[in-house]
Every structure is written in structure tokens, then in C-alpha cells.
């Protein structure tokens, strides 16, 4: 895993001398170091590959990206190489550390606006560059904005942690997803349709608030609460009263970024032209203000670590053993906090809805604002998304039948592919028009472990609920075919058929495949006949079984009464049929009798005629 450096940075650990620790992530520790042959101070991020053992290729790709991307506001990697079971990534040393560390050490209530504007402008330029090269940072936050002693600003950690831990130990189950909750965009939490670079714009807005207040909104709440608040509440923002010291343009830009609908957030490129950045200062402002009087990074880091250790020791009894590690990571602002949905469900069960969300940041002020981005920024778009804790019960998709032919997807928490449309087992659900006029039960539901679902498919003249027993073509690989939907955008003309992975037999009452054709009603008549037939047979069988059980147990239950009633009905039906047949038999008999009589008369006539003929012959 070695990448040749542009300059002559050696790729041998022996050529570096590690000094003190200056930062820590979940799987990485960052050291100040000396590159001996070049006599240059560098930072070395040491990643424990055993902790992120799953996808070395992804790490390799990300490091390569880190080396190839080249922008003054992005922390570039000089080179990388393995040392034992660790990966070393050599980067420029940013001696003042991260904005988070600077705030924690000397600016607990955040920075002044000119400093914030200067920092944010640098971050935005880095984001515009990343986005234009097809990258999403996914972890924009003050902890990843690094500053050197001259006030130069660089965005760090782009992509590496996200991809490392997407496949690494922190995402070890399907019910886990990663990210830093306070900075995470709602669409990343929901994972309905995947997410794109606009997720970075949300995180950028949260980072702006973090730099303004010294902490991210909701940071004092546990992760579960942060998720719920982000999804349910109006987006956070700067408050008119509390944030008087900040300009209108600052409030505007934050509001523009923190719009729940990602499509309505401006691009990084567009944000660069916002009037908030009209008076951006040079890096000297940073050097001459926030960096003044700061002790060396290593010392600050050590002190912060000690403080944190003290705090965690005190809080251990409060959080308990199991939650302790996650809570530590969370409080330290480390990325990729592990969201275990089972834990979340448990937490959700005890969280009251009204437990004191008093944050002024939640207030919707945007409608009072004008100028800046105007309509295109969607400043009045503040409707909270009503996603409930129940959504977590289902790790993929939960659907609700809103009646009248509409199904709304509520939440999908599965790890999803970026940019993908909502789909279920490879079937594009958006192409199905599900509905039921008589049944308002959930029409489509899913569960990773045991998927039971039924799909209502719109047919030409009504709705057919396709359930089990329709053409079952289970394949050897456990998938079933075929599900046909009208498709005009899948690169195929006309119909397109997709394969649905077979559901877990332990949860499905019957083997089943959904096979339906959206087309003429004639094409479903055989299927309807089949269902009818099968239904009648099952009914008979069930009644027979109930009778047997009834005989064995001697019980006379309501069911058996119903069976008896049913039997009586059946007998009535039978005798009615018999009567019809009987009458037919009688009428046939009568007709036979009549014919027999006619035959007898004819025979008599015939005999008479024969007798006369023979008499005549005798006379001759």
C-alpha cells in the first residue's frame, strides 16, 4: 500500500521520527513527526488496519484520492505506506490543530463573525473543488478544519473516514450506519433515496453554527435525540434575539444551507458568491486573532485528553459500561459514531416527546429574511419531516398506506447506494402504484431478517392483491422470478423483468413469489381461477381438519358451529342441486314412458295391419 510521493517523501517508517500525539480519531492517532531526510515537520496519521480490516482496497482508493486531489484548502497526503499492521498517512503538519481544538482551548463560545467567514470561505472553496471532482466529504465539521500557525486553513479527513468505516468495524451489521450525528444531513439519516454532495452543504451549515456558538446544535443531547430532532424539528439556525451580534447575511447563509430538502440547498459554488463572503479576510486575521497565545498543539491535546478522561470517569456510572465507549466518541466529536438501531429503539422507548427542547436554534426565522439567495434557496422551506421512532423498527423500508391509493415511504434506514432511487429487492417501487380501497393495512413492508410483504398492483380494472401461490419460480439461488413492471427508464424497451431475492422462509407463511403483469385483465383470469380453486380446496381441507380436531377433543366451539352451519348450507346447496336433477330425471322418465307408450301403440297398429294383410292373402 505504498504511493510514490510527488516530492521525495520517503515511504519507510525508519525515515520518520514520531513525536507527541496531536489528535485522535476512532481508528487513527495523529502524531507530530519529523521526516528525517527532508528535515521537515509533518503529521502522521496512523491507522490501525486490524480495526478496519474489511476493505483495504477502499482504504487504498481513498488514500490515493487524498494524494491526487490538489487544492490549497484541502489537506493533502504527501505519501502513505504500511508499517506492521498500521497504515501511515503523511500529511503537512497543521500546528494550530483543528478549529474544534482551538475553540475547546481558548474560544468556548465560538469565534467572531469575520473569523468565521474567513474559515468558512476556505472550507467552501475546498468543498467546491471536491464536489466538482465528484467527491463528497461526508464529515464536514470544526474538528476537520485544520489551521497552521500562519492562519492557513485546510479541510481534512476527506472521504477517508467515511469509506474506511462504511466497511470497517464500526459498520458491522446491517442495522448500523455511520456518520457524526449532529452534522449529519436528514437525508443521510433517512437513507430514503441515498444522498449526494448536498449532504456536505447541510454539514457546512451545522459547522457554521458550531463555529458561531462553540458547539454544534443538539450537541448536548444523546445521539438518539439528535436523530429525532434533526428529522422531526425545524432545522436549526441563528436566532434573531440570541445571535444579535451576527449579521443578517450570516443568518441567511446558514438558513440556506439548513434546508431539509437537499435539492433546495445551494451548491458550494453558488455559496461562494454569497454576500456573507464579501468581506472575507486574509489568513493574517486568523493568525492574529484566534491563534494568539495558544500553547503548542501537543500540550493542548494532552490537556484536553486529561479533561475528557476526568469527565468520562465521572460520567461512567451515568452512562453505564456498554454505552460508555460510544458516548465518549460522541462527546469527543469523533466521526462515525456507531448507531445500533436496536439500541436506538430501546432509547426511543424511554424518550418523552416533550422533554424540553428549548433551543432557540430551532426557531424558524427564515421567512423573515430577504435577499441573498431569494427564492432559489428555498428559505421558507421549513416543514419538519414527520419520521417517527417506529420507523426504526424496520431496517429497510417502512411504508404506510395513506388510503385512497397512495403509499408513502416513511423511512428507510438501510445503507444505501448514493444516488439510487428507492427500490425494494431490486424492484423499483416508484414504478408500482400500490393501493387498496378496501384494505388499509400496510401494503409494502420490509424487514432485513424476515421479509413479509404483499404488493398491491394496479390493474386495468381494479386492484389485485398478489400474495402467495401465484406462479412460483423459486430459483436455486433463493431468488424468485419474475416481477414485471412497466419500465421505460431502465435501458430496456417495453417491459422489464427484475428478480426479487427470496424472502426468509422462517417468516413467510408460504413460499411465495410475486408475479404479476400490469396489462390486460384477461391476462390475470387464469391466475384468479387458480386462486379461487386453491381457496376452495383449502377451505374444505380446513373444515375437515376442524371436524377431526373437534371429534378428538370433544369441543364444540364457535368454529365448529360455524363449520356445522357451513355444512348445513352445503347440504342445502346439494339437495337443491339434487332436486333439479331429480326433476330432470323424472321428466326424462316421463318422456321415455311416453315414447314406450307410443311404441306400444305403433306395435299394436302394426300387428293389426299385419293381421289384415294375412287375411287378404288367405282370401286370394
Ligand X SMILES: Nc1ncnc2c1ncn2[C@@H]1O[C@H](COP(=O)(O)OP(=O)(O)OP(=O)(O)O)[C@@H](O)[C@H]1O
| From candidates 11, 94, 216, 259, binder to ligand X by CB under 6 A | 94
Q: Does position 203 bind ligand X by CB under 6 A? A: no
- Closest CB to ligand X among 89 and 344? 89
- Beta carbon of residue 359, minimum distance to ligand X (angstroms, whole number): 24
Q: What is the full DSSP assignment across 466-510?
A: E-TTS---B-TTSEEEEEEEE-SSSS-SSEEEEEEEPPPTTT-SS
Q: Which of 73, 105, 230, 335 binds ligand X (CB under 6 A)?
A: 335
State yes or no: residue 63 binds ligand X (CB under 6 A): no
Nearer to ligand X, 270 or 283 (CB): 283
Interface with ligand X (CB under 6 A), residue from 3, 88, 93, 218 = 93
- How remote is the C-alpha of 518 from its chain's centroid? 28
Q: How many binding residues for ligand X (CB under 6 A)?
A: 27
Shortest Cβ 24–ligand X spacing (Å): 6
Q: Is 43 in the site for ligand X (CB under 6 A)?
A: yes
CB of 147 to ligand X, least distance (A): 9
412 lies in the binding site for ligand X (CB under 6 A): no
Q: Are 6 and 76 in contact (CB under 8 A)?
A: no
| Dist CA 170 CA 295 (whole Å) | 34
- Residue 509 burial by CB count (10 A; 0-12/13-18/19+): exposed, middle or buried? exposed
Q: Which residues contact 274 (CB under 8 A, 6 or more apart)?
A: 249, 252, 253, 256, 266, 372, 373
26 makes contact with ligand X (CB under 6 A): yes
**What residues from 131 to 160 belong to the interface with ligand X (CB under 6 A)?**
139, 143-144, 146, 156-157
DSSP secondary structure letters along 310-334:
HHHHHHHHHH-HHHHHHHHHHHTT-
**Which cell goes with 578?**
339434487
The Cα 161–Cα 156 span in angstroms is: 10
Active site residue 109: no
Return the ∠ at Cα 335 (arms to 292 and 259), rounded to 5°. Answer: 90
CA distance 107 to 294: 11
3 state SS of 8: coil
23 binds ligand X (CB under 6 A): yes
Could you say which of 98, 347, 366, 391 contacts ligand X (CB under 6 A)? Answer: 98
- Which residues have a Cβ under 8 Å from the Cβ of 8 and sit 6 or more positions away? 37, 38
Nearest distance in Å: CB 326, ligand X: 13
Nearer to ligand X among residue 46 and residue 348 (C-beta): 46
Q: What angle do CA 518, 524, 530 make, to 5 degrees?
A: 140
**Beta partners for 403?**
406
> Which one of 20-28, 251-259, 545-553, 610-618 is the stretch in contact with ligand X (CB under 6 A)?
20-28
Q: Which is nearer to ligand X, 94 or 563 (CB)?
A: 94
Minimal distance, residue 312 CB to ligand X, in Å? 17
Using CB under 6 A, pick the residue from 30, 87, 228, 394 that binds ligand X: 30
Q: Does 25 bind ligand X (CB under 6 A)?
A: yes
Among the listed residues 8, 139, 243, 447, the single catalytic one is 139
Alpha carbon distances (Å) from 515 to 397, 447, 463, 474: 21, 20, 14, 11
Q: Which residue, 75 or 341, is less far from ligand X as judged by CB?
A: 75
* Separation between Cα atoms, residue 426 and residue 516, nearest integer Å: 16
28 binds ligand X (CB under 6 A): yes
Q: Rounded CA gap, 277 and 266, in Å?
A: 15
Q: How many residues does the chain have?
A: 620
- Residue 603 assigned as binding residue: no
We find the least distance from the C-beta atom of residue 92 to ligand X, in angstroms, to be 6
**Could you tell me the smallest distance in angstroms from the CB atom of residue 34 to ligand X?**
14
Residue 99 interacting with ligand X (CB under 6 A): no
In the block, cell 381438519 appears at: 545
Identity of the residue, 27 or 190, whose beta carbon is nearer to ligand X in the bound complex: 27
**Integer angstrom CA distances of residue 119 from 30, 228, 505:** 22, 29, 55
Question: Toward ligand X, which CB reaches closer, 255 or 334?
Answer: 334
Residue 305 C-beta: closest distance to ligand X, Å = 11
Give dist(CA 46, CA 492) in Å, integer: 48
Question: Given CA atoms 422, 423, 427, 429 in this order, what sign does their dihedral have?
Answer: negative
Binding of ligand X by 184 (CB under 6 A): no
Residue 162 engages ligand X in binding (rule: CB under 6 A):
no
Which chain residues interact with ligand X by CB under 6 A?
A: 22-28, 30, 43, 45, 75, 91, 93-94, 97-98, 101, 139, 143-144, 146, 156-157, 161, 334-336
Which residues are the active-site residues? 139
In the annotated binding site, the residues are: 45
In the annotated binding site for ATP, the residues are: 45
Amino acid at each position: 500500500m505504498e504511493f510514490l510521493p510527488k516530492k521525495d517523501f520517503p515511504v519507510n517508517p525508519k525515515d520518520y521520527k514520531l513525536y507527541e500525539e496531536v489528535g485522535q480519531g476512532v481508528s487513527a492517532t495523529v502524531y507530530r513527526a519529523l521526516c528525517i531526510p527532508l528535515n521537515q515537520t509533518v503529521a502522521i496519521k496512523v491507522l490501525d488496519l486490524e480495526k478496519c480490516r474489511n476493505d483495504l482496497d477502499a482504504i487504498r482508493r481513498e488514500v490515493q484520492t487524498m494524494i491526487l486531489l490538489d487544492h490549497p484548502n484541502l489537506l493533502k497526503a504527501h505519501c502513505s505506506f504500511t508499517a506492521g499492521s498500521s497504515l501511515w498517512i503523511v500529511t503537512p503538519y497543521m500546528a494550530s490543530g483543528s478549529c474544534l481544538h482551538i475553540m475547546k482551548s481558548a474560544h468556548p463560545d465560538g469565534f467572531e463573525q469575520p473569523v468565521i467567514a474567513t474559515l468558512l470561505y476556505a472550507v467552501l472553496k475546498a468543498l467546491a473543488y471536491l464536489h466538482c471532482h465528484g467527491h463528497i466529504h461526508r464529515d464536514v465539521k470544526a474538528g476537520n478544519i485544520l489551521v497552521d500557525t500562519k492562519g492557513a486553513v485546510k479541510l481534512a479527513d476527506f472521504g477517508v473516514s467515511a469509506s474506511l468505516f462504511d466497511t470497517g468495524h464500526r459498520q458491522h451489521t446491517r442495522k448500523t450506519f455511520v456518520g457524526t450525528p449532529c452534522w449529519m444531513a436528514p437525508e443521510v439519516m433517512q437513507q430514503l433515496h441515498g444522498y449526494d454532495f448536498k449532504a456536505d452543504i447541510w454539514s457546512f451549515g451545522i459547522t457554521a453554527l458550531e463555529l458561531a456558538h462553540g458547539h454544534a446544535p443538539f450537541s448536548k443531547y444523546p445521539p438518539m435525540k439528535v436523530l429525532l430532532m434533526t428529522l422531526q424539528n425545524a432545522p436549526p439556525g441563528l436566532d434573531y434575539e440570541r445571535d444579535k451580534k451576527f449579521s443578517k447575511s450570516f443568518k441567511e447563509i446558514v438558513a440556506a444551507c439548513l434546508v431539509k430538502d437537499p435539492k433546495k440547498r445551494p451548491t458550494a459554488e453558488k455559496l461562494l458568491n454569497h454576500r456573507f463572503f464579501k468581506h472575507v479576510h486574509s489568513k493574517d486575521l486568523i493568525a492574529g486573532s484566534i491563534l494568539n497565545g495558544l500553547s503548542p498543539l501537543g500540550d493542548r491535546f494532552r490537556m484536553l485528553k486529561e479533561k475528557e478522561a476526568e469527565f468520562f470517569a465521572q460520567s461512567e456510572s451515568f452512562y453505564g459500561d456498554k454505552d460508555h465507549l460510544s458516548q465518549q466518541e460522541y462527546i469527543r466529536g469523533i466521526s462515525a459514531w456507531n448507531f445500533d438501531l436496536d439500541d436506538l429503539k430501546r432509547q426511543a422507548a424511554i424518550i418523552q416527546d416533550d422533554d424540553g427542547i428549548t433551543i432557540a436554534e430551532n426557531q424558524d426565522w427564515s421567512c423573515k429574511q430577504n435577499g441573498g439567495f431569494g427564492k432559489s434557496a428555498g428559505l421558507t422551506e421549513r416543514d419538519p419531516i414527520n419520521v417517527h421512532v417506529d420507523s426504526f423498527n424496520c431496517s429497510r423500508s417502512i411504508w404506510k398506506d395513506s388510503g385512497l391509493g397512495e403509499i408513502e415511504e416513511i423511512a428507510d434506514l438501510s445503507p444505501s447506494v448514493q444516488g439510487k432511487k428507492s427500490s425494494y429487492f431490486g424492484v423499483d417501487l416508484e414504478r408500482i402504484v400500490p393501493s387498496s380501497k378496501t384494505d388499509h393495512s400496510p401494503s409494502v413492508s420490509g424487514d432485513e431478517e424476515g421479509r413479509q410483504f404483499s404488493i398491491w398492483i394496479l390493474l386495468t380494472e381494479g386492484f389485485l392483491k398478489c400474495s402467495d401461490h401465484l406462479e412460483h419460480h423459486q430459483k436455486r439461488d433463493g431468488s424468485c422470478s419474475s416481477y414485471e413492471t412497466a419500465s421505460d427508464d431502465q435501458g430496456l424497451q417495453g417491459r422489464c423483468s427484475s428478480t426479487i431475492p427470496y424472502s426468509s422462509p422462517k417468516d413467510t407463511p408460504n413460499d411465495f413469489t410475486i408475479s404479476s403483469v400490469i396489462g390486460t385483465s384477461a391476462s390475470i383470469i387464469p391466475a384468479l381461477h387458480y386462486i379461487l380453486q386453491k381457496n376452495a380446496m383449502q377451505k374444505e381441507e380446513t373444515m375437515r381438519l376442524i371436524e377431526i380436531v373437534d371429534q378428538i377433543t370433544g369441543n364444540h366451539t364457535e368454529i365448529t358451529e360455524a363449520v356445522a352451519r357451513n355444512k348445513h348450507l352445503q347440504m342445502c346447496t346439494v339437495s337443491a342441486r339434487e332436486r333439479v336433477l331429480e326433476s330432470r330425471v323424472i321428466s326424462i322418465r316421463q318422456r321415455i314412458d311416453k315414447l314406450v307408450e307410443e311404441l306400444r301403440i305403433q306395435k299394436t297398429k302394426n300387428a293389426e295391419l299385419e293381421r289384415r294383410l294375412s287375411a287378404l292373402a288367405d282370401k286370394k
